[in-house]
Amino acid sequence: MGDKKLLKEMGARIKARRKELNMTQEQLAEKMDVSINMISNLELGRKAIRPENLVKVCDILNMSADYILRGKFAETDNTEIYKRFLNIPEKHRKPLEALIFSLSEE
């Protein structure tokens, strides 16, 4: 995969998560202590992310580096999903469990 394509995909994942959290580029830039222009370039795939900024964006957006870099969920992502699952009322958990088990048997 070309570097440009990889950077665009990484940027798209960051942007999608930022929007999911209803956060503006300005808010993310402020929390990361970087310029808005840097966030824009990052999300558009114009610039690579520096390791120290990758750590910051992971913490702020509650994402794993694996997901940002490769688009694959890490074990820590599964832990977050499991925590959310436990917050679902019991009566709704059973149908979800059945669905998960039926899909995982394929």
**Digit-coded pLDDT (tens) for 31-69:** 999 999 999 999 999 999 999 999 999 999 988 888 898
For position 86, what pLDDT does the model report?
80
Fold of 1-71: 434 Repressor (Amino-terminal Domain) (1.10.260)
Q: Average pLDDT, stretch 81-91?
A: 80
Determine the Cα–Cα distance for residues 14 and 103; give it in Å rounded to an integer: 28
**Domain ranges in the chain?**
1-71, 73-106
The Cα 78–Cα 84 span in angstroms is 10
Q: Give the mean pLDDT of 2-29.
A: 93
